[in-house]
Amino acid sequence: MQALGLVLDDGRDGFCEIYTPLAVAAHRDTRLLLDTWRRLDASGGFIVGIHIPSRSLVSTLGGLSLYEPVDGGRDFRVRLAGSSLLRRFGRDIGGALLSQVFDRSALGFHKSRMRQAQRCGTPFLYRADKRWEGQPHLAFEIVGMRVYSPDCRDPWIMTGQALLAA
């Protein structure tokens, strides 16, 4: 599908993502999210509805997504999907389960990182290279971290993605 001059993945065969773990955030938006999260985590935790949305994080809002654990973390429901996720997934993933967003091979990668962050509080950082028919298409830097639900009872996962220059 093509919208606003962008070619989007409309579920056709030929699209895949390759994931590369990163040690350091390079994009300013992922650095901002990670720095803000570290500061808030050290003082009690990052809480949805209190610390986000936030004016200081306005540049990151389009790339944010929030995931609520379902069935003890067997899956995760997308509670919020920023507008830039449309570019990555070719559709609005809001309300979907993680298992409905990723194929079987990618699902294990994502769920393992999210569960680890949920349990241990350790953020994750990786590069996702989206390819179409083997050719580079888009690249994103993605950071994920444990945040707390608005009632402060449950650990959720928040990710931020930033489009990288080709």
Give the torsion through C-alpha atoms of 93, 4, 129, 148, to 10 deg. Answer: -40
Q: What is the DSSP secondary structure assignment for residue 60, as one 8-state letter?
A: G
Query: Mean pLDDT, the chain, as a whole number?
Result: 90
Instruction: Report d(CA 76, CA 69) in Å as an integer.
Output: 4
Residue 39 burial (C-beta neighbours within 10 Å; 0-12, 13-18, 19+):
exposed
Phi, psi angles (nearest 5°) of residue 160: -130, 135
Phi, psi angles (nearest 5°) of residue 62: -65, -25
At residue 13 the predicted structure's pLDDT band, cuts being 50, 70 and 90, is: low
Q: Quote the pLDDT of residue 69.
A: 97
% the chain with pLDDT above 90: 80
Total-model pTM: 0.88
The continuous run of DSSP H or E covering 37 comes out as helix 28-42
Instruction: Report d(CA 154, CA 42) in Å as an integer.
Output: 17
Q: Quote the pLDDT of residue 7.
A: 42
Tell me the C-alpha to C-alpha distance, in Å, between residue 93 and each of 40, 43, 65, 78, 83: 27, 32, 9, 7, 10
At residue 5 the predicted structure's pLDDT band, cuts being 50, 70 and 90, is: very low
Structural domains in the chain, CATH included, are: 15-163 (3.30.450.20)
At residue 78 the predicted structure's pLDDT band, cuts being 50, 70 and 90, is: very high
Q: Quote the pLDDT of residue 67.
A: 98
